[in-house]
Amino acid sequence: MSSPVPSADGRPQPLLGPLTSAAVFLVVTVEPGGETVARELLAGLAGQKRAFGFLHPDGGLSCVAGVGARAWDRLFGAPRPAALEPFRELAGPRHHAVSTPGDLLFHIRANRPDLCFALTAEIMKGLRGSATVQDEVHAFAYYDARNLLGFVDGTENPVGHEAADAALVGDEDPDFRGGSYAVVQKYLHDVDAWERLPVETQEKVIGRTKATNVELDAPGSHKDVNTVIGPDGTEQHILRAAMPFGRPGHGEFGTYFIAYARDPRVTNTMLERMFLGTPISGPDPLLDYSRAVTGTRFFVPSADFLRAIPGDGGQPSSSFFSSSE
């Protein structure tokens, strides 16, 4: 099946939106024979979101959908995004970035958890019998934009035009303008070991003060390892939307990491520095307390691309809501 051609402006999905107080991260694999159902759901996703958000305009409900490398050809054929490839496993001397299955990603955000829940349930209803859940995480904002280790997260995120430039594909791949490359990883924290560290040691691991979020001169810290300088000498950015999750009764405390990038090589470089280290710094010291248990890469096509997905008869799908946003 040939890919729908997005409009010239490549209007993006709402990945540039602000962080919300609740989110769901849903990763599924499409069963053989489930391709038509998956395409129809993707084509009608904006309408589904609108139906649930209409009565609650202040709820901030949004949904971003991505497609994995192994599913792209099954769903759309050629052409395919120029840099789309599976998540590459990284096995360092001390730490391991695993690669796990995932054909579709749904990143659902709102200021009310019930809106996230309702849209997630409707998506799974539409995919019933056609897809298998690989991961489902219900996340939440924690205090002052902090993670469950107690530090502010996402300080270096670009904003405005800089965010769009960091996250959205441009003229370098015109068929997929307005899209983005997303990486997701679920991290589980050893909170007991972390809390045994003195605050000053925690701050050296992170590279920032815990109470005030002030940047420290801490070579080899988490912040230092994740700072990537491009060939032109400027810092290269990705757009992060990580959020905490957990089940205290089960001893589960974690961060669901998601990053959107115009150029996936930037994310690749960060992960290599984190897990494999550099000749100068070694691997990210935070990984001594945080373990990656999933790892998947997706391409997030533009909203125009999704709306143009044809149904079985070659016309835009109408099995789900499919009017413009």
Q: Which residues are catalytic?
A: 153
**DSSP H stretches of helix in 212-263:** 222-225
CA dist list (Å): 24 to 81, 108, 114, 238, 268: 25, 5, 11, 21, 24
3-state helix, strand, coil in the chain (%, to 5): 30, 25, 45
Between helix 45-53 and helix 35-43 the angle, nearest 10°, is: 50
Q: Which of 108, 115, 109 is nearest to 56 (CA)?
A: 115
Structure tokens at 299: 């391409």
CA dist list (Å): 253 to 140, 201, 246: 12, 20, 4
Beta strands 290-292 and 180-189: pairing type? Answer: antiparallel
30 pairs with which residues across the strands?
Answer: 131
